[in-house]
Structure 1
Amino acid sequence: MHISKRLLLGIGAATLIMESVVILPAFAADKVSLFKVITTKDEIVIGISEGDLARIEGQNAGGVARMLVARGSMSAWQYAVRKSSSGDLEQVPLHKIGLLASDSLRVEPYATPLKVLPIDETRK
């Protein structure tokens, strides 16, 4: 039986595509949602992983604010903008911070056109 090079190449390409579709999501890190936290003194951008956000009622800025008020404090990753090695701007986790509830606190969703890097849990 003779298998043409084109058919063999097509089967190989299809296998590679199917493998990447199945395997890559397993290696993908948690997506991060960004929020701007505003007080009377300043404002910062924090990131909460998709897994942590799923445990918050409402899974939005209102849920984050309600959780902060209910607990009195919470930990989150502060995000900042930096240049990547290719020169593109990206949002990256800077360091883990503690937030305290106060009457002047406001939490808003934060949209960015920049690439948002995932939280590296090994840096906790």
Structure 2
Amino acid sequence: MRISKRQLLGLGLASFLMESLVIQPALAADKVSLFKVITSKDEIVIGIGETELAQMEGQNAGGVAKALVAKGSMSVWQYAVRKSTSGDLEQSPLHKIGLIASDSLRVEPYATPLKVLPIDETKK
């Protein structure tokens, strides 16, 4: 069986197109930074996408705290640990919540060894 150069080129191009269609959505997802918000009653973990975080001064916990104080309140995604279909633990967006500046005492970065899932904007 002999494959011509044209067939080989066509097969390579088709493979490239299929790969780029599969990889493109994964690369388009915003990277999420996690923060722990501590109040007088409890503490929660929130996730902020890199595009939203880039609009905040400092792009860190201090920037999130300043944005919260300046706005008075903000809508963010609460994150929680869950099991993936493969059984691995991962940090996943739970639901969108509202933070009020007067109830939040401290915002600090939250490090996790778990995989952090991106925010699905279709769930808003």
Q: So what's the TM-score if we normalise by structure 1?
A: 0.80
Offset of residue 26 of structure 1: 5.9
Q: Distance in 2 between matches of 1:104 and 1:26?
A: 35
Q: Which amino acid aligns with 2:90?
A: E
Q: Which amino acid aligns with 2:60?
A: N
- Is there any run of 5+ residues in structure 2 with no aligned partner, and where? none
| Partner residue, 1:42 | 42
| Partner residue, 2:123 | 123
| Partner residue, 2:62 | 62
Contact persistence 2:80–2:94 (CA under 8 A): yes
How many residues align structurally? 119
Q: Distance in 2 between matches of 1:91 and 1:101?
A: 25
Q: Distance in 2 between matches of 1:104 and 1:43?
A: 9
| Partner residue, 2:111 | 111
- Is there any run of 5+ residues in structure 1 with no aligned partner, and where? none
Q: Which amino acid aligns with 2:93?
A: P
Q: So what's the TM-score if we normalise by structure 2?
A: 0.80
**SS of match in other structure, 1:87:** coil
Classify 1:121/1:26 alpha carbon distance in 2 versus 1 (closer, same or farther; 3 Å): closer
